[in-house]
Chains A and B, each alone.
Chain A
Amino acid sequence: MLARPGLPQFEYVRATTSVGVHDLLSTANARLLMGGTDLFTQMRDGVWRPRVVVDVKHIPGMQDITMDPGGLTVGAAVTMNQLARHPAVQRLYPALAQAASSVGSFQLRNRATLGGNLCNASPCADTAPAVAALEAILVLSGPAGQRETPFYDFVLGPGRTVVGTDEFLIGIRFPAQPAGSAGCYLKLGRSRMGDLSVVGVAVVAFRDLAARSGYRFRLALGSVAPVALRVPAAESLLAAEPPHETNLAAAADLAMHAAVPISDVRATAIYQTLMVRTLTLRALESAWAQLQGAGR
């Protein structure tokens, strides 16, 4: 029968320390609550039926943004708006700030969290391409302590991650960016605001004397594969030859060929495929322009 919206009964547990949370997660048919923007819609639609909802966002550190010489650490429960408006994130990790500010609506961004967006592992998660391009490390808390996993190993497929049944994500670590790094996230939806992305492209670029071209570009695509997709072929091309009009376009072509979208009510596969090229080229040009501007 047609799904009938309406929350089922559940028990709410507010955790202020990670002690006990792992046990609860492994034994009690529990779900984590961060911003709740996905949890409650999935529960309302009967997709998830947890008996216990564990609110972990009040565990110390979960809502902190900290900068140190090693880079940026974002607590898993930091909201999209906190991230998007953080001056250091805007300055040093523009792709992340732009991705965070492109999620849903302003009201939703007041609640939706970076950790939630990544753990949901939706193919169209806006922050996933930026997190992939920034080569973030995810910090998981488990019964035996913390472990770290690079983001490119984290998502297994739509809705599936490496997080164990007794683990939860506590933070996301972004390596320090070389001075003068550039970056951007471009999103295409069917309307200018609020729609889920049809294509998302994140680019991070910086000077790198170890690269033959003198530059390193990192490129990741969202919404066009089961997981956020890095495009190593395009990255290698731009590391080999200095960027110019022709090889930026060639890199965008490589990105297009890497994409494996599926048709749905929001967009057809062929449109998405071609839009990968368009958005990638625009993102690469934007990052390249930023680099040249910074060089002057």
Chain B
Amino acid sequence: MSPKYVGQRISRTEDPRLLTGQALFVDDVNIPGMLHAAFLRSDYAHARLNSIDVSAARSRPGVIAVYTAQDMGDAWQHGPPLVIPPPTIQNMVFHTRTQVPLVKDKVRLIGEPLAVVIAESRYIAEDALEDIIADLQPLEAVGDLERALRPGAPLVHEELGSNLAAHFFQEKGNYKSARQQADLVIQKRILIDRGIAAAMENRGIVAHWDPKSQRLTLWDTTQSPIPIRNGLAGMFGLAEHQVRVIAPFVGGGFGPKIMMFYAEEMVLTWATLQIGRPIKWIEDRRENFYATTQERGQVHDAEMALTSDGRILGVRDSFLHDTGAYDPYGLTIPLNTQCHVLGPYDVPNYYAETTVVFTNRMIATPVRGAGRPQGVFVVERLLDLAARKLDMDRVEIRKRNLLPPDVFPYNNQIIDQAFAPLVLDSGNYLPLLEQAATRIGYQPFIREEQPRLRAEGKHVGIGVVMFIETTGVGPYEGARVTVEASGRISVATGVGTQGQGHFTSFAQIVADQLGVNIRDVELVTGDTAEFHWGTGTFASRGAVVAANAIHAAARAVRGKILRLASKVLEAPEEELELADGQVRVADMPEKSISLGKLAVLANPLRGAVQPGTEPGLEATDYFGPQYGATAAGAHAMILEVDPETMMVEIKRYVAVEDCGTVLNPLILDGQVHGGVALGIGNSYYEKLVFDDNGQLLNASLADYLIAAATEVPRIEVGHGYTLSPLNPLGTKGAGEAGTLPVPALFAQALEDALADHRLEVVEMPLSPNRLFELLQAAQESASGR
């Protein structure tokens, strides 16, 4: 069977609905009698809650209820830990502290909810917030990671006696002895600061407990509806089948929507159980800066030991990771960082040490990249600075260290975010690097074009970097595929969808297996009433884990179709083919039956069937990979810097990706474009600024800049195709790939553009202003001051 759809550049079938406003988002859910919630949030980052008086708010006309932590009684509980630390890492220190639904005694982060008002309208609810008197005694706040660990620092969780959330190290080989043999050791302190995901759609929830049917329905902008259902049921004493969680169309996930359980999810569920009416809460843009998780803050002390011919002998990286006030997401982010420092390179000796720190900041959970961009930044920067010291070409030093194609599967001997050894399943890295360098015209640029432009006084720089991306982690996903009497195919899977084009790419797989038109495949995602096994959309795993589950279920249905058709058409299965919605005998096309008729035959209304017969043409199947598939890529760009204002213009951008089998190149290109756009934001625009009191100074899209069309260039996408041996489709994830290498690439290209300044970029994000300061500092140190 040759695939007709998989691999084709097919326009997304869901787009007409999205583009014409016909798609259902959480805020489109309107139920008669629905109430609206608004949260009172702390404007201190750290404070003692002495008392809270909600009596005036309760008496405001239109207010149905006002709840504080006290009102929740026994239902008040910490959110469950979402990810535990890997049990396989020895000598691990890990202190679990998870978020609360409403503050009971102490505020630990700015914006932490103190009370909720449920009212007839959002207007009334917000007005009533002003009636609440909260007596907050501000405490000294802590945000700086090093300061947080010093004795005497304000404590986020007093009972721990320090702000240490976790500490662990991993080792491969022996870095110390490798260092002794080194010709060159590059040692750098590297800073990466915090940003937000800034999805176009903020978070939102409609929670509806129907007392008559005794059913709870929750529409939620979550990436993870099934664990939300199971968790809420457990938390509030309901049977799992009583709870239905629907993640309808969601306007961007980017990681923070995988976080469970947000205070608002816990509070709205509890509140609707009290009131018995539907309640809606839609996060507004300002709340998004205070109520939705963030990521990236890390401080690295990193070093790389090399030979004089540029071969890596070892890497040592000791870093602080900012988890914010709580750590429900365990060590996923820092583990990713540790793993991605190794990159696509042969690093025989590695020592990685991580200290996770509690601060009075929003909880850190994965934001597209999830610790990986930090790791990529560290290793790529060390390589660049080594190349400079060794007077070696930047592409050449990478070539010398790439893992060769015959070493896979390659075991890096440390534990990754899936608690399994970091095994790179497959890869062929050199062609990716060469393709990126060739497409950007690396050699002609540095030999001819750059000298010519420099002579004209232009500050142009080129960069080429590499990365790997661990993707497609388990445990598993599932899907059910059904042939309906109409001949249409319905598919249900548990993962939610936030714009990835699932309705198209998943349908392509099914259409190929069953020989139907893609328009005849109807897909449901993210509705626990349709499918209730699975975990969610995260870690670049949809096209790996969910797609292979769908593939498996579709193959099982294909088997059922062939078995039944063989009887009906009186022909051996091997002679049958599925095409155009029909099963037909290959060389006798007049001998055929439509899938719809076959589905009716498989589901008789009267008569007897053989014992053990399953009705219908339907199958449910699952896929769980042995371990994650590793994608890889190389990005290159040319940029020009205005040497006075430090404004940057990206002249060209090339992204070469290897994510194994490409299901739909159009969708893949879009993923890469979006990822690069976020990476550009992470490099030069998007940085949260806090003051010493933990106040967020740029909590609006006027002050917090997002890379826009004027900052994101046309992106040329190239491909490598090293299929993953770990799944039948051969796919690897691509959801986060575009973001990972951009800060490292930006730094290299900036240094090249400003080569006469001997600049070293060891921090991100930058800005024109920050780059200006770095240049001033470089000039001062050059002039010996």
Contact = CB atoms under 8 A, between A and B. Distances in A.
Contacts of A5: 284-286
A144 interface: no
Contacts of B284: 4-5
A193 B111 contact: no
B698 A265 contact: yes
A193 B710 contact: yes
Interface stretch (B332-340, B394-402, B767-775): B767-775
Interface string B78-121: 00000000000000000000000000000000110000000000
Interface string B623-649: 000000000000000000000110101
B689 interface: yes
Interface string A187-198: 010111111101
A193 B685 CA distance: 13
Contact of B711 (A2, A188, A192, A268): A192
Most buried by A among B649, B689, B769: B769
Nearest to A198: B769
Contact of B647 (A1, A6, A188, A267): A188
A90 interface: no
Contacts of A274: 772
A34 B428 CA distance: 61
Nearest to B681: A191
Contacts of A4: 38, 126, 129, 284, 286
B609 interface: no
Given A191-B685, A265-B697, A266-B703, A6 B41 contact: no
Contacts of B123: 6
Nearest to B691: A265
Interface in A254-284: 265-268, 271, 274-275, 278-279
B31 interface: no
Contacts of B129: 1, 4
B36 to A, nearest CB: 11
B645 A275 contact: yes
Given A1-B134, A190-B768, A196-B702, A265 B685 contact: no
B219 interface: no
A278 B644 contact: yes
B705 A195 contact: yes
Given A188-B647, A196-B702, A271-B773, A6 B126 contact: yes
A26 B649 CA distance: 50
By size class, the interface of chain B is 35 or more
A2 B288 CA distance: 12
Contacts of A194: 708, 710
A191 B40 contact: no
A188 to B, nearest CB: 6
Interface residues of A, number: 24
B290 interface: yes
Contacts, number: 70
B711 A265 contact: no
A209 interface: no
A3 B700 CA distance: 12
B240 interface: no
Interface string B741-785: 000000000000000000000000001110011000000000000
Contacts of A190: 685, 705, 767-769
Nearest to A9: B123
Given A2-B286, A194-B708, A278-B644, A268 B134 contact: no
Nearest to B123: A6
A4 B114 CA distance: 14
B285 A192 contact: no
Nearest to B132: A1
A274 B284 CA distance: 38
B122 interface: yes
A281 B385 CA distance: 36
B290 A191 contact: no
B280 to A, nearest CB: 15
Contacts of B769: 190, 198, 266-268, 271
B647 A192 contact: yes
A271 B708 contact: no
B113 to A, nearest CB: 10
B43 A6 contact: no
Interface string B423-462: 0000000000000000000000000000000000000000
A195 B111 CA distance: 26
A3 B41 CA distance: 9
Contacts of B711: 191-192
Given A191-B685, A265-B689, A265-B698, A271 B647 contact: no
Given A5-B284, A265-B703, A266-B703, A191 B710 contact: yes
Contacts of B111: 2
Contacts of A196: 702
Interface in B704-721: 705, 707-708, 710-711
Nearest to B701: A194
Nearest to B767: A190
A191 B708 contact: yes
Interface in A61-82: none
Contacts of A268: 769, 773
Contacts of A192: 647, 649, 710-711
Interface of A: 1-6, 188, 190-196, 198, 265-268, 271, 274-275, 278-279
19 contacts: A1-B132, A2-B41, A3-B286, A4-B126, A5-B284, A5-B286, A6-B123, A6-B126, A190-B685, A190-B768, A191-B710, A192-B649, A192-B711, A193-B708, A193-B710, A265-B698, A271-B768, A275-B644, A275-B645
Given A193-B708, A266-B703, 20 more contacts: A1-B42, A1-B130, A2-B111, A2-B290, A4-B284, A5-B284, A5-B285, A191-B707, A191-B708, A192-B647, A192-B649, A192-B710, A195-B705, A266-B769, A268-B773, A271-B769, A271-B772, A275-B644, A278-B645, A279-B645
Closest 8 CB pairs of A and B: A192-B710, A278-B644, A193-B710, A265-B698, A271-B769, A6-B126, A265-B697, A2-B43
Interface of B: 38, 40-43, 110-111, 122-123, 126, 129-130, 132, 134, 284-286, 290, 644-645, 647, 649, 685, 689, 697-698, 702-703, 705, 707-708, 710-711, 767-769, 772-773
